[in-house]
Chain A
Amino acid sequence: MDEERFEEIWERAEAEHYGQRLAAEYPAWRARRRRVASMAMLTVAAAGIALPLWQTSIQPVVQEEGYTVAYCNRTDIADQYWANMADELLMNS
């Protein structure tokens, strides 16, 4: 993730009252945000002089299906069942 994306996440987390939880779980979260913000200012100052080097493209590495069920202790459950559960748990937390 590039710094610009991090800045977007930060703003959305703050807007959705998620920021406090992140700060509790990740003590360096706020310090990182300050670092990113000051880097962004430096980038603006350096605009026209140098290209931001971190904006290199990243090739997708995730498989097309988006998951692989490696093991399951029951034979009668479809793989998609588990992928849906992983998605729902993240979405509802």
Chain B
Amino acid sequence: MKRLLLIVLLPLALLTGCSHEKKEYSASELYQHYAERENLKVAQVDGFSLSDSVSVEVILMEADDEDAWQQLKEEFNIQGDEGTVSWLGDPDNPAHRTQWTGIPVMRVIASIDKHTIGIYRIDNETQYDAIVDYQLEKTKKGIQ
């Protein structure tokens, strides 16, 4: 009897556990999520080149007006009135700040001045390194 209960309950428990798994957005799902809004310009850029051998998928958004920007600021929990903010976000919720531990993350960059947000999907350490390299290289070129 106990064995029978185990046979019935174990798959049920596993199924319940699975149903609580986080939903991870693919780039196109993330695009769809925002593209339907009338006051947002949204694009998905595939194969955005970071170096000769590394590229990433990017979702880009630009608010058409102040209301649209205020809504984005609230959704992404963006503080401040000027400059640029950047963080690593969860793939299932890019607004949620996280750390790089080897599992996929989103590099989220928001320009408060330009009312734009870029979400760069990072799947591996090579892409993480390439983004850092790209930023440092560009900064260096900008200074020169």
**A27 within 8 Å of B by Cβ?**
yes
Contacts of B58 in A (CB 8 A): 86
Contacts of A68 in B (CB 8 A): 45-47
B33 to chain A, nearest CB (A): 11
**A55 within 8 Å of B by Cβ?**
no
| Interchain CB contact under 8 A, A6 and B48 | no
Task: Map CB proximity to A onto B71-105 as digits: 1 under 8 Å, 0 otherwise.
Answer: 00000000000001111100000000001111000
Looking at the complex, which of A18-26, A37-45, A46-54 is the stretch in contact with chain B?
A18-26
| Interchain CB contact under 8 A, B101 and A28 | yes
Q: A90-B118, A91-B142 are in contact. Are A72 and B47 (CB under 8 A)?
A: no
| Interchain CB contact under 8 A, B109 and A89 | yes
Contacts of B85 in A (CB 8 A): 93
**B128 within 8 Å of A by Cβ?**
yes
| Interchain CB contact under 8 A, B55 and A5 | no
Q: A73-B42, A93-B109 are in contact. Are A85 and B60 (CB under 8 A)?
A: yes
Once bound together, how far apart are the Cα atoms of A69 and B51, in whole Å?
18
Contacts of A66 in B (CB 8 A): 47-49, 55
Partner of B126, one of A1, A16, A67, A72: A1
Q: Closest residue to B37 on the A side, CB-wise?
A: A73
A-contacting residues of B (Cβ < 8 Å)?
A: 27-28, 31, 35-36, 40-49, 51-55, 58, 60, 62, 84-88, 99-102, 109, 111, 116-118, 120, 126, 128-136, 138-140, 142
B-contacting residues of A (Cβ < 8 Å)?
A: 1, 5-6, 9, 12-13, 16, 18, 22, 24-28, 58-63, 66-74, 77, 82-83, 85-93
Given contacts A1-B133, A72-B41, A91-B135, 4 further A-B contacts (CB under 8 A): A28-B101, A66-B47, A70-B46, A72-B42
Closest 4 CB pairs of A and B: A66-B49, A89-B118, A93-B86, A73-B35
Q: List 26 A-B contacts (CB under 8 A).
A: A1-B126, A5-B129, A9-B136, A12-B136, A12-B140, A27-B99, A62-B49, A62-B53, A63-B47, A63-B49, A66-B49, A67-B48, A68-B46, A70-B27, A70-B31, A71-B35, A72-B44, A82-B45, A85-B116, A85-B118, A86-B120, A87-B138, A89-B109, A89-B111, A91-B138, A92-B109
